[in-house]
Amino acid sequence: MICPINFSLALDDDPGKYINRKAEVWNLFYRMMTVAFVIGSVVSGTLIWLVWRFRESNNNAKKTKYEEQGKW
């Protein structure tokens, strides 16, 4: 019979099969940090590309219709 207390204490019926909580916490931390670095890199790269693409000195950047008319 499986008791709810076994789940809360991470107990198992078989001896010698313990969960190393410290290792599990660090594993989760490293996974989340990997995801955070990937997302941060994508966002930073997108921002750098946007700033570089739409800078004023870019010859391919076209003025909007409001900028051409001088009306804001």
Model confidence, pTM: 0.57
**Contact call for residues 61 and 67 (beta carbons, < 8 A):** no
pLDDT at 17 over 90: no
Amino acid 60: pLDDT: 80
Can you read off the two tokens belonging to residue 59?
């010859």
Per cent of the chain over pLDDT 90 is: 38
* Residue in this structure with the two tokens 């909007």, named with its chain if needed: 64
pLDDT at 59 over 60: yes
Which stretch, 17-21, 40-44, 47-51, 61-65, has highest mean pLDDT?
40-44
| Whole-number Å distance between alpha carbons of 67 and 5 | 68
Amino acid 54: pLDDT: 82
Amino acid 27: pLDDT: 92
